[in-house]
Amino acid sequence: MKAEKSRRRLRLATALVLGAGLVVAGCAQDAPSDEPEPDSGAEDGATDGEETSGEDVELRMYWWGSDLRHRITEEAIQAYEAENPGVTVQAEYADWSAYWDRLATMTAGGDMPDIIQMDLQFLSEYAARGSLADLENLPIDFSEWDEGTVDNGRTPDGLFAAVAGINAQVALLNPAVFEEAGVDLPDDTTWTWDDYLEIGRQISDSGVGYGTSPIISDHGAEAWLNQRGLSLFTDDGGLGFEAADLAEYYAYIEELTESGAAPDPATQADDISAPLDQSLFGTGQSAMSFWWSNQLAAVEDASGTDIEIALRPSSNAGDSPSGTYYKASMFFSIAETSPHQEEAAAFLDFMLNSEEAAPIVLAERGIAPNLTVREAMLDDLTEANVRVSEYIDDIADVVDSPPPIPPEGGSVAQELIQRIGLEVVFGQSTPEQAAESAYAELSDSVVGG
C-alpha cells in the first residue's frame, strides 16, 4: 500500500510539471468588463510594504467560496493568531458572483484587502495594473514546491500569486438520484455527449429530479472545443475556433433543454448564478453537473449524500484529446498597497507550507502544491478529499496539456458564453446566430482578435 501511494505521489508530481505554464502571460476570463482602475498608492502616505515594527498588526483576508471553505479558513486563521499574538487576521468573504465586483470597488477606492484569493481568470488584469505585490520579494518558501507549480502564478512581470491547489473540471454524479430514477451510473471512460443527453432525459422523465444541471460555461465550451482539437484562444492572442464550431456546442445546449434532460430556461438561468449550497446539484435536485474536483467535499457537505466523481463525457468515446487538464484551482495574492506585506506573506507561508495548517485546510482549495505538506495531510484527509487526491492522480494518463491562456480582453469569455447561451435556451437566438454573436464579441474584446 505504501509503495502504491509513493507511486501515486510520484505520478502526481510529474503531472504537476506537465500542468505548468497555466499562467505565463495569463489574462482574466470573467472579471467585470467595467472594472475601475485601481488606486496605485497606499493611504495616508504609507509606502508599499511598509512595516509597523513593534506594533500589533491587523491583516484583512478576502476570499470566495462555500460555507465549508469559510469554516476551515477561519479555523486556520485562529490557529495562526494563537501562534502569533501580535497579528490579527480579519476574515472577509463573498460568493463568486459578488466577489469580483466588491474587489474591484475596494481596489479602486484604495481599500484592497492585504490578502486576496485570486483566480487565473483575473490574475493578469490585476497584476498588469500594479495592484499585486511580487511574491518573489516576500518571505514565502517555495523550496519544496514543484518549480512548474510555482510558475503557475507568474506573469512576464513577476510572481504575483501563490498556487493554493490544483484541480480538474469533472462531472459529479448523485448516485441517490440515479438509483431512485432506476438509471445505472455511466462508465465515464467510454461515455459520450449523446450518452449524457440520453441519461439526463431518462432521469428527468422519471420525475425524481432534473437529469442535469445547466452546463453553459466557458469551461464547458472549452472542453467541447478541446475534444475537437480546437481551443477558445490561441497562443498568439487570437481565437482558436470558428463560429460554426461554437454553434455545435450551443446546439447541444439547446437539445439538452428541449429534450427535458436539463431544466426549463428560467430554472437554468437561476442555477447558473446560484451559490454552490443553493444550486440544483448541491441541493440534490439534479443527477449530474460539472464542477471543479476540489469542490467535491463542499458539494457533499451541501447535499448531505455521497457523490461520484467522473470524467466529463467525450466526443471521442474515451480517446484523446479528453478535454480534461490540470488547472491551478486558485491562488493567493498580496495587495501592492498593503502596508503589511511581510506579515501577509508570513501568514500565507503558514497556510501553504506548514504542517500545522495542513490538517485544517486539507484539500478544500485543491491538492496541496507543497509535496511535504501533501504527505503530512494524507492521514487527515476526509474520505472525499482522499478520493479527489486519488482521482487527480488516476487521470494523469488521460489529461491533455492546458489550453492557451486567455489573452488580454479574454476576461469576458465566461459572462459572454453564458449570456448568449441563455439566449439559445430561451429561444431568443438560434445556435448559429448565437455563435456568430459570441464570436464577434469575443473577437472585438481580445487583443489581437
Rounded (to 5) percent helix, strand, coil in the chain: 45, 15, 40
Ramachandran quadrant class, 388 (left: phi over 0; alpha: psi -120 to 50; beta: rest): alpha
Q: Which helix (H) or strand (E) holds 251?
A: helix 243-259
What top-level class would CATH report for the domain 2-166+326-397? alpha beta
User: Can you read off the three cell numbers belonging to residue 332?
Assistant: 493567493
Domain ranges of the chain: 2-166+326-397, 169-325+404-445
Q: What is the per-residue pLDDT for 338?
A: 98
What top-level class would CATH report for the domain 169-325+404-445? alpha beta
Q: What is the per-residue pLDDT for 167?
A: 86
**In whole angstroms, what is the distance from residue 433 CA to residue 247 CA?**
8
Other beta carbons within 10 Å of 108: 15
User: Can you read off the three cell numbers belonging to residue 152?
Assistant: 503557475
Fold match flag (2-166+326-397 vs 169-325+404-445)? yes
The owner of cell 459520450 is: 192
Q: Distances in Å between the alpha carbon of 331 and those of 37, 161, 260?
A: 21, 6, 38
Q: What is the per-residue pLDDT for 2?
A: 35
Q: What is the DSSP-derived secondary structure letter of residue 374?
A: H
- From the first residue on, what is the mean pLDDT of each consecutive set of 10 residues in the chain (449 residues)? 38 38 32 33 36 74 94 97 97 92 96 95 85 96 81 84 91 98 96 97 98 95 94 86 98 98 98 94 97 91 95 80 86 97 98 92 87 83 84 84 75 92 98 98 77
